[in-house]
Chains A and B, each alone.
Chain A
Amino acid sequence: MTSMSDQRPPGNIEAVVVFEKVTKSYGKARGVVDLDLEVRRGELFGYLGPNGAGKTTTIRLMLDLLRPTSGRLRVLSTDPVDFTVRRRIGYLPGELDLYENLTGEDLLTYFDHLRGNGSLGNGRNLAERLDLDLTRPVRDLSRGNKQKVGLVQALMHGPELIILDEPTAGLDPLVQHEVFRILAEAREGGATVFFSSHVLSDVQKLADRVGIIREGRLVAVERLDELAQKALWRFEVTFGRPVPLDEFSSVPNVRDVHIDGDRLICTVVGSVDALVKAIARYEVVNVVSQGSDLEEMFLAHYRGDDLAQ
């Protein structure tokens, strides 16, 4: 595990989000435990963890929807209890529900008034980029289009801090790509983006640093290249004829090798380069590779003592 102290921003870099030993427990649901987290100004921070790990709890604490049981947190150098800080924040909830009887335009108008900063024009531009029809009532929108409305309202007022809970849920890959581009642009404009996901590939496309949360505890904060070293890929290769086992069991980064006649099944950790070069020596009929299963990756890398309870 990467030592978290290595990842602390040096003093001259402003931390936009700071959690200090924050614990939130409520009811039967697990919250977060002793959470220490710093997000630096101008970074795209991915918050990765399986469903139910505490991602949404972390985010809702930042918005003062939840109050910490213990510990201290600051968002834009402000206690989230101070509602005025939310003028500078854009938020997309994870389980998004909007006012069903309003149109997209109505919703943006309403929130624009509550924020008092005349950003409706920008909202319309964003909607256009996402190919979103603002004239239809929310109740008639598909899940993907609702998600777009949610994104537009989160981004239209040019917030300093953009907090997105599972932003790509329900979006087709093309729109996801556009969303990533919009977020990258926002970052170039000086915004900080904090987004959660349970999908590793989302985080890989977008994040500079990744915080990994499991069972309410932050188990690591890593740069993306460090994380890539730990990604697991499951490969299934079909050859034109049977292949020898020992040819592949010694390939770097490859483990769990099985040969079944002309089929090779194995797991790759980190770079797939060596495997690709090894299989290229034979006639390849088909290659199927499956991205990392997050839970598998956690088990492989983060089965630390702190999780052993």
Chain B
Amino acid sequence: MLNSVFSKSLRDRRRSLFWWVGGIAAYVIFLDAFWPFIQDQQEEIGELIDRFPPALLAVFGVDAAGDLFSAAGYLNSRSFGWVVPMVFTIYAAALGARAIAGEEEDNTIDILLANPISRSRLVIEKFAAMAVVMTVLGGALLASLLAGDALFGLGIPAARYLAGSFSAVLLGIVFGGIALVVGATLGSRGPAFGAVAAGSVAGFLLDSLARIVTELKPFQKVSPFYYYGSSELLVRGLNPVHALVLALIALLMLALAVLGFRKRDVGV
């Protein structure tokens, strides 16, 4: 596990990844376990939901109350609506911020860069490790969704779960990439976290409010959450064009991080 910057970065994340995987698996199983009860009380819940303002429902990833009567609608609003993207975003931001800025704040960057490794390669390997950690978390999410479905009979096609998990991984890598860019360019983690916090909250609100405020509609496409597709992942599946857009944004972030790190003084 100490063969390269890439593998060491994975090794460093073993412990934290274990807890994030455990957390997300427990959450998904917990949600699924409630499905049989929800199903029994569909009508009452429907009446309750109808009283909520549509704006609030939109923020929580529910397009229409009707969504909640299906297993996909129920699960989507409580997982891919905002909990899953939040979990992936926070963890990815931590990884992206730590990648370069963490080495700099820990003062290990000097001794690391004294080895024959280029700055570009360092950024690329750190990015790759972050993407792999996200993928493992996504795999764990998928596995627990499939297990929960089998246990509690939600009857959602496996392809939908795959679509949702894949999209969450992409969204995580995008925000991890943003943290990496800021951290690699400025050399400190604070601004990297700040950028992701501001960007993700703004992006999330923009995407969800644009569904009900027509004036915001033209700006919706600026938000990564639009391409993530929070409200429809389990209902309609993956939009391959949107997934491609997320992947391209992630690659753009990688390129910016390389540029930001290559040209500057380190550890000052």
Contact = CB atoms under 8 A, between A and B. Distances in A.
B2 A106 contact: yes
A90 B3 CA distance: 19
B265 A63 contact: no
**Main DSSP-derived SS at the B contact region:** loop
Given A106-B2, A113-B3, A113-B4, A86 B12 contact: no
B117 A114 contact: yes
Contact of B266 (A65, A87, A90): A65
B113 A63 contact: yes
B218 interface: no
Given A66-B265, A67-B265, A97-B106, A86 B2 contact: no
Interface in A105-144: 106, 109-111, 113-116
Contacts of B114: 63, 86, 89-91, 93
B110 interface: yes
Contacts of B118: 83
B162 interface: no
Nearest to B263: A67
A65 B267 contact: yes
Interface residues of B, number: 24
B5 interface: yes
Interface residues of A, number: 35
B2 A65 contact: no
B108 A65 contact: no
Contacts of A65: 109-110, 113, 265-267
B115 interface: yes
Interface in A1-28: 26-27
Interface string A78-105: 0000011111011101011111011000
Nearest to A67: B265
Contacts of A63: 110, 113-114
A58 interface: no
A64 B113 CA distance: 9
Nearest to B268: A26
A153 B116 contact: no
B8 A91 contact: no
B107 A91 contact: no
A111 B265 contact: no
A60 interface: yes
Interface in B207-257: none
A115 B116 CA distance: 6
A98 B111 contact: yes
Most chain-B Cβ atoms within 10 A of its Cβ — which of A63, A83, A109? A83
Nearest to B265: A66
Contact of B108 (A64, A89, A97, A109): A97
A114 B2 CA distance: 9
Contact of A66 (B111, B115, B119, B266): B266
Contact of B111 (A84, A91, A101, A113): A91
Nearest to A150: B111
A97 B268 CA distance: 15
A109 B2 contact: yes
Nearest to B12: A101
Contacts of B3: 113
Contacts of B2: 102, 106, 109-110, 113
A151 to B, nearest CB: 12
B108 A99 contact: yes
Nearest to A100: B106
Given A86-B116, A114-B5, A66 B110 contact: no
Contacts of B8: 110
Contacts of A153: 111
A91 B111 CA distance: 7
A115 B117 CA distance: 8
What 5 A-B pairs come out closest when comparing CB atoms?
A: A91-B114, A97-B107, A114-B115, A87-B116, A110-B2
25 contacts: A26-B268, A29-B268, A60-B110, A63-B114, A64-B113, A65-B266, A66-B266, A83-B119, A84-B116, A86-B114, A87-B116, A90-B114, A91-B114, A93-B107, A93-B111, A95-B107, A96-B111, A97-B106, A98-B111, A113-B2, A114-B4, A114-B5, A114-B116, A115-B115, A153-B111
Interface of A: 26-27, 29, 60, 63-67, 83-87, 89-91, 93, 95-99, 101-102, 106, 109-111, 113-116, 150, 153
